[in-house]
Copies of this chain bind each other. A is one copy, B any other.
Amino acid sequence: MKFLHTSDWHLGRQFHNVSLLEDQQDVLKQIITYIEQNPVDALVIAGDIYDRSVPPTAAIELMNDFVERVCGELALPIILIPGNHDGAQRLGFAASQMKGSGLHIVANFEDMLDPVVISSDIGEVAFYGMPYHDPELVRHAFQSDQPIKDHDDAHKLLAEKICAQFKPDQKHVLVSHCFVDGAMESDSERPLSIGGSDRVSHQHFVPFDYVALGHLHQPQKKGEDYIRYSGSLMKYSFSEQHQAKGMTLVEFNQDGFLSATHIPLTAPHQMRIIEGEMDAILQQGKTDPNNHDYILVRLQDKHAILDPMEKLRKVYPNVLHLEKPGMLIGVDQQLGKARLARGELDMFKDFFLEAKHDALSEAQEQAVSQIIEQLTRQKDA
């Protein structure tokens, strides 16, 4: 018995004002190709299908095409839950009407307790989806006697409710979107809780045969070999440049969990950081086979450069962000402001040299000096 565990698709996401939809479409195609060539029994998406509770129409159409292809043509069941980026009610519209077709959107607690049961060579496997909700909503829904003050309390209660449904002849898979204590974050996850704690102990999940987690964008296991984050569909921040992206192929045998294998997925544009001096970067870009990647450039040059973005984009057309640490000598602690390494006159000299391809004459330098001095005096007065 095999199934694929994915999460954090964030369809419709923008990155530095660039739409990632075409990249997402490409990666979804890779998933479809994998399924066509490697039959599995189910596909799990552990939340954050969309990037927003009201996703753009194009993202909905992309998801619709995927579902049509996978549930419709390939007849593979999809089990998904809303994450903290999704709107549970919006995503869950007509969920009951979709079940028969193999699209299982578990968006409320009633459906949470009614697992999707997949029959396989090793018997029945019950998939329990735990839709992402605020702890307050969990308390309200279950009129709990126990206090539900944070995500850990909420997950404890929800896991108990689910475990009470276990049938001894079934294997049990949990799908949840949460932050397991001690797991590794990236820059692109939105905090689940402002102020309160969003961490959840992995202990609540131990009774399951496998726990398909979403929320953290780095693939990782936590506590047990069978409690895992698949990681996000693709990189969603430069901090993820060295993270492996893909999905997790989970295999069960008669005894339950057997193995988890990372299946790589590769977005057409990678997100990466290039550090160096302008000339070196421009040189390297000319022969860089992946020069269309989404790039953050960290310029090490210590002198001012005219129109650096324009220059960089001639070789790296998708430079999305530029940092100039070489221009700073540090942050002024008192003022809380970055301080430039070079004074105004040096900066102007750099500019003049670039713009005119010539150095300032002595008279020019003197004139500029005087103007700067005058302006500085006015500013300080």
Q: Which residues of A contact B (CB under 8 A)?
A: 54, 57, 60-61, 63-64, 67-68, 71-72, 87, 89-90, 92-94, 96-103
Q: Is the CB of A68 within 8 A of B96?
A: yes
Distance, CA A133 to CA B271, complexed state (A) = 39
Decide if the interface of chain A is mainly helix, strand, loop or mixed. Answer: helix
- Cα A370 to Cα B90 with chains together (Å): 64
Q: How many copies does the complex hold?
A: 2
- A sample of 8 cross-chain residue pairs with beta-carbon separation below 8 angstroms, ordered by A number, consists of A57-B87, A57-B89, A63-B93, A64-B92, A64-B94, A67-B97, A93-B93, A94-B103
Q: Check if A97 sits within 8 Å of B103, measured CB to CB.
A: yes
Given A57-B90, A67-B94: A101 and B100 interface contact (C-beta under 8 Å): yes
Nearest CB of B to A369, in Å: 57
Q: A334 to nearest B CB, angstroms?
A: 48
Across-interface contacts of A67 in B (CB, < 8 A) = 94, 97
- Pick from A68, A89, A97, A98 the residue with the most CB of B within 10 Å: A97
Partner of A64, one of B60, B63, B89: B89
Asked if B98 contacts A94 (CB within 8 A), the reply is: yes
- Identify which of B57, B72, B96 contacts A96 (C-beta below 8 A): B72
User: B residues within 8 A CB of A87?
Assistant: 57
Q: How far is the CA of A57 from the CA of B89 in the complex (A)?
A: 7
In whole angstroms, what is the CA distance A60 to B107 when docked?
Answer: 13
- Bound complex: CA of A102 vs CA of B99, how far in Å? 12
Q: Which among A60, A61, A90, A94 has the highest number of chain B CB atoms within 10 Å?
A: A94
With contacts A64-B93, A89-B61 taken as known, whether A100 is within 8 angstroms of B103 at the C-beta atoms is no
In the complex, which residues of chain B have a beta carbon less than 8 angstroms from the beta carbon of A90? 57, 60
Closest residue of B by beta carbon distance from A91: B93
Q: Write out the residue numbers on chain B whose beta carbons fall within 8 Å of the beta carbon of A103.
A: 94, 97
Please, which residues of chain B bring their CB within 8 A of the CB of A57? 87, 89-90
Cβ contact within 8 Å between A60 and B72: no
